Amino acid sequence: MNKNKQCYFSANNIKLIDYKDVEIIKKFLNPHARMIAGKRTGVCSKHQRQLANAVKRSRFMGLLPYVAQ
């Protein structure tokens, strides 16, 4: 486990995760376009919830795929 890994969003002082910022969101998706768990990425639970909503919104708007090969 990554106990000493700091949250990416807290470290970079990102207050709000924007669904239009696809490049940042893609870092937290695996090659199949599934979200990676917060335990593996080191993202705190507050930002993990924001990230989940951003991923869902960007998928709905067509910026990210629901499924990838």
Residue 1 has pLDDT above 60, yes or no: no
Average predicted confidence (pLDDT) for the chain: 92
Cα dist. 49→25, 37, 45, 63, 69 in Å?
13, 11, 6, 19, 25
How far is residue 24's CA from residue 51's CA, in Å, rounded to a whole number? Answer: 10
Q: Is the pTM of this model over 0.85?
A: yes
CATH of 8-60, one of 1.10.240.10, 3.20.20.140, 1.10.260.40, 4.10.640.10: 4.10.640.10
Domains of the chain, by residue range, sit at: 8-60
pLDDT digits 0-9 by tens, 33-58: 999 999 999 999 999 999 999 999 99
